[in-house]
Structure 1
Amino acid sequence: MVFDLQDPIVSDFEMEAYIRGLIPNLAQLRDMPAAFVQMYCRIAAHKFFFFCDPNRRGKACIKKVLLSNCLQELMELHQETEEEVTDTEQAENWFSLTSAQRICDMFLALDKDMNGTLSKQELKEYAEGTLTEIFIERAFDEHVRRGKGGAGNSREMDFESFLDFVLALENKDAPEGLAYLFRCLDLHGRGYLTTADIHTLFRDVHQKWIEGGNYELCIEDVRDEIWDMVKPADPLRITLADLLECKQGGTIASMLIDVRGFWAHDNRENLLQEEEEPEEE
C-alpha cells in the first residue's frame, strides 16, 4: 500500500496496512512471527497517531506523517541487526520487534485478572510501582474513556489507552508527551499549576521517597526549586507553555509523578559524572 497523496488524511486502519506492507522490506522485522504481525502493526501505528493526531480523531495529516520523526525511526529498521544495531538501540526504538514485544509483555503482566483491560490497582504496578497514586488517578480521569454503564471494567484502561500512557511517559520531553502529562498534573483543569498543586502532587512522591529509606526533605524547597527551573511568565502559576519554554518540562513532570524520576534529578550530578568517566579497558 502507498499513501494516496490526493487525500490529505490517513486513517489508523490505512496506517496499519501501510506498516504491514513495509515489514518484508525492513531487515529487523522480516522474521517476525506471523501471529504477531497484527499486534505489531497496531502498536507501531499508534505512535504515529500519538504524535500526528493530537485530537485523537483516528485520522492524521499525511504530510505530518511523512515529515514526522516516527517515520524516520521506523526506517531505521532497514539496518541489519547483527552488524549495525546494538540491543540498547533496538530496545529504545518503539518500532523494533523487541520493543513491541516488551509493550505486550508489560500489559499482560499488569493485567492480573486477564480481562484485557487494566484497573487503577493493576496500573499502580507499572514501572515497579514508582509512580504516584495521584498520578494514576489523574491519568484515569483525563485519558481513560468512561463506558456507557459507568461501572465495572468500563472504567478500566484498554490497550490503546495504555499505549498512550507508555508513549507519554517515554516521551516526556516531547510537546505531545508533556501535553498528556500536563493534563494529569492540572488537578483542577484550569490550564495552569499553582504552588498548592505542586505541593499536592509532590506529597505522594515525598511519601514514596521516605518509604524508600532516603533522607528527609522539605516539600516547600522542592516546590521553590521547580519554580526556579521553570521561571513562569506569571510568577503565580505554571502553564504548559512555561514547561515547554523552560526546556525542563519532562524532568519536572518526572519529579512530580515518579519517585524514581525525582531520585534521578536529585542525583543528576553523580549520574552525569558516571556517564563521563571513561570505561576501564
Structure 2
Amino acid sequence: MYSGSSDGESHEASQRKIPPASSMLWVRNLRRFIGSGAGLGSEALMELETKRILLDIFKEKQQKSAEGGTIPRSISHRVQRLAKYRFLKKQSDLLLNADDLDAMWVCLRENCVIDDATGAEKMNYEDFCHIASVCTEQIGPKCRRFFSPSNFMKFEKDESGRIAILPFYLYVMRTVSLTQARIDMSELDEDSDGFLQPHEMETYIRGLIPNLAQLRDMPAAFIQMYCRIAAHKFFFFCDPHRRGKSCIKKVLLSNCLQELMELHQESEEEVTDTEQAENWFSLMSAQRICDMFLALDKDMNGTLSKQELQEYADGTLTEIFIERVFDEHVRRGKSGGGNTREMDFESFLDFVLALENKDTPEGLTYLFRCLDLQGRGFLTTADIHSLFRCTPEMD
C-alpha cells in the first residue's frame, strides 16, 4: 500500500516543471546586491580597494621599467667600486700615520717611569690613562681605541701592575700595519669576495717594494720575476687546496706577511748574508731561486725534465722520489702528455718551498703525497723499503 502511493507522487513530481534558479526574482536581486558591493562589510571593501591600488602601482612600475630599461651592468659595477673605494678610504683615514706613531712614542717615553731593577720604561694604569689623554689632544680621537682597559690587560705586568711601553707600542704598530695591509688588499680584490688571485697578490707586493728598505734598489728588469716568486709563497701556504686564490684574512695571519715585512724594518747593511738567504722574500733569495732553475735547465726550454731535476741539491735525491714528485705535483699536459711532461717554474717553486719548509704542515703534505706510493693516506714497511732501497747507491 505504501509503495503504490509513493510511486504515484514521484511520477507527478517528475511531470512538474521546476523553473531555473536564474529566473527566480529573489536570486536575481541577491546577485545584483552582491555585485554592487553594498552587501560587503567595510573590511572586505577596504581589502578589495587595497588590492586594486597595489595592482595599479605594480602595473605602473612595470610600465616605467619597460620604458626606462634596467640599470646597465657596467654602471652598477662602477657604483659598487666607487662605494667600496669610499669605504676603504674612510677606514684608511682613521688609521695612524707615521707622524702619529712617532708622536705616540714620544708621549709614551715622556710620561713613563723607569724600572730601577731592569731600567725598562714602564707605565701603570694611571699613567696609561694619562698618556691616552695626552695622545688624544696631540694626535686626535683616532688613537683612543688603543688605550682601552682590555688592551692594557693583554700585556704582562710586573709586581707593581706596570707594563712595558715597548711591547705596547709594537702592538699599536702591528695593528696599524695589518689594518693598512687589509685595506690595500681589499682594494685590489676586484670581485670583492675576500680572496686574492695571483696577479692581485703580485700587484700588492709590487706596491710594497718602494717602502721595503732591502728592496728599494732592486733592478727594474727583475721586479716582475721577484713579485712572481714572492707571491708564490703566499699561495703555497695560504691556498692549500690549490684553488688559485688565497683568503685575505689567512694571508694577514700567516707568517709569510711577517717575513715580508721584516725587509721593511731592517736595512740591508745590518743583516748578514745567511739571514738574507733564509728569508724567501729577500732579493738574494729570489736571485738564488732563479739561478738555481737556470742552472738545472740544461736545454734552456723553460722547464725541467726528470733528469735535469735529479741534479738538484748536488744529486742527493733518489730517482724514485723524483718520479713521485712528477706523478703527484707536475701538471699533466703542460709540456706534452704521458711521461714526457716537464716541471714548469711554478711547480719548481712548490718543490723548493716544500723541501725548505719540511717542518710545516704544507711542506709535509707535499712530501707525504710523494712518499705515499699507493695513495692510501698512510705508509707501510714496503713503502719505506721501496723509497730508501736505492739510497746506499748514492756515494
Superposed pair shares fold, TM > 0.5: yes
Q: Which runs of 5+ in 1 are unaligned?
A: 213-281
Amino acid at match of 2:184: V
Q: Which residue of 2 aligns with 1:73?
A: 259
Structure 2 counterpart of 1:111, one-letter code: D
Identity over aligned pairs, percent: 82
> Relative contact order (C-alpha < 8 Å, sep 6+): which is higher?
1
Partner of 2:281: 95
Partner of 1:38: 224
Aligned counterpart, 2:184:
2
1:110 is matched with 296
The residue identity in structure 1 corresponding to 2:214 is Q
Report how far residue 206 of structure 1 moved: 2.4
Q: Superposition pairs for residues 1-281 of structure 1, below 5 Å?
A: 2-4=184-186, 7-78=193-264, 79-82=266-269, 84-147=270-333, 149-150=336-337, 155-208=341-394, 212=395
Q: CA deviation at 1:7?
A: 3.4
Corresponding letter in the other structure for 1:114: M
Find the aligned partners of 1:101 and 1:2 in 2 and give their Cα distance.
27
Q: Distance in 1 between matches of 2:312 and 2:305?
A: 12
SS at match of 2:186: coil
Count of residue pairs the alignment pairs up: 207
Q: Deviation digits for residues 107-161 of structure 1, max 9, x if unmatched?
A: 00000000000000000000000011110000000000110751586x0000000
Residue aligning to 1:238: none
In structure 2, give the amino acid aligned to 1:194: T
Where 2:196 maps in the other structure, the secondary structure is: strand
Q: Which runs of 4+ in 1 moved over 3 A?
A: none
Q: Secondary structure at the match of 2:252?
A: helix
Q: What is the DSSP-based 3-state SS (H/G/I as helix, E as strand, rest coil) of the residue aligned with 2:284?
A: helix
* Offset, 1:81: 1.2
Amino acid at match of 1:157: M
Partner in structure 1 of residue 97 of structure 2: none
Pairwise CA RMSD: 1.4
**TM-score in terms of structure 2 length:** 0.51
2: CA distance between counterparts of 1:188 and 1:200?
Answer: 12
Instruction: Tell me the secondary structure at the aligned position of residue 118 of structure 1.
Output: coil
- Alpha-carbon distance change, 152 to 202 in structure 1, aligned in 2, over 3 angstroms: closer
Corresponding letter in the other structure for 1:205 = T
1: distance between equivalents of 2:193 and 2:328? Answer: 32
Question: Which of the pair has more CA radius of gyration?
Answer: 2
CA deviation after TM superposition for structure 1 residue 167, in Å: 0.1
CA distance in 1, matches of 2:363, 2:309: 18
Gaps of 5+ in 2: 1-182
Inter-partner Cα distance in structure 2 for 1:3 and 1:102 = 28
CA distance in 1, matches of 2:331, 2:339: 13
Partner Cα separation in structure 1 for residue 239 and residue 350 of structure 2: 12
The Cα shift of 1:27 comes to: 0.3
Q: Provide the residue aligned with 2:24 in structure 1.
A: none
Match of 2:109 in 1: none
